[in-house]
Amino acid sequence: MPAEIIDGAAVATKVRAEVAIAAAALAKHGIVPGLTVVLVGEDPGSMVYVASKEKACLEAGMHGETIRLPASTSQAELLAVVDRLNADPAIHGILVQMPLPKQIDSQTVIRRIAPQKDVDGFHPVNVGKVLIGDRDGFAPCTPWGVQVLLEAYGVKTTGMECVIVGRSNIVGKPMASLMVQPGAHADCTVTICHSRTRDLASHTKRADLLIAAIGRAEFVTGDMIRPGAVVIDVGMNRVDDATAKAGYRLKGDVHFESAKQVASLITPVPGGVGRMTIAMLLKNTVRAAEMTAPAIRAGA
């Protein structure tokens, strides 16, 4: 029997509705959650993604702003912009869109963002808090979105063998940090696989929960999946296709057609994890705004 398809778009819509309610509650106290995205250069994919973030903010009743800088911007100039945003009390979340031009060191920029405004969850302080299970930190949006999808579909993760294919700082490592924590929607035994893993299939075949985030189109095939496993595809790869209107199609890291014949639950690409990333970014921004007003956060 083919797998049930996880509708990431529907879950993301629900999360965004919850964000709008929280933003409206803050507005009654004169606080409008503010997210500023900084875009350096004109990478086509980044420009589309940034525009969708700004639109999502406005739809949720939040303040969404995009600062566009030329590709020639120096590291010092970008850091000065970050410093200004750090000091602005009306801005609760700061996101510097990656990738950055070669003259700018991304880690230096990430470390310059105030941890309490790092709604992307990439500052070392927030990375550390996620690792130790401190809920005051901000979890990276994509891994947190995966966890929310699992919750929405009633996946009982306690005791599961969770195998993550990919060890990036954006998805693989923080995903492992979340799933190994004690508590609901986690409590897994976690294995991280990567490009140097020997006999990858021997690991993926024992996974109750398989999360693919390796950045290679249709890399995980149905014969690498244990029957009945839950499969989460984080990949988003452009594959040339002359028959498509855009000249390409989006493919995940999982070969969907073969995997859905084996899995019990599976995310599609597009329409799966990708929709959750922006939704969780908005949720992190509202949380950041609430943390500036403890009385409101406590429900006073």
Instruction: Point out the residues that are catalytic.
Output: 53, 97, 120
Which residues, other chains included, contact 294 with Cβ-Cβ below 8 Å and sequence gap of 6+?
none
For the beta carbon of residue 118, count every other beta carbon within 10 angstroms: 26
The burial of 101, by beta-carbon neighbours within 10 Å (0-12 exposed, 13-18 middle, 19 or more buried), is given as middle
What would the DSSP string read from start to end of 42-55? --HHHHHHHHHHHH
For the beta carbon of residue 16, count every other beta carbon within 10 angstroms: 18
Would residue 139 be called left, alpha or beta, if left means φ above 0 and alpha means ψ between -120 and 50 degrees? beta
The burial of 187, by beta-carbon neighbours within 10 Å (0-12 exposed, 13-18 middle, 19 or more buried), is given as middle
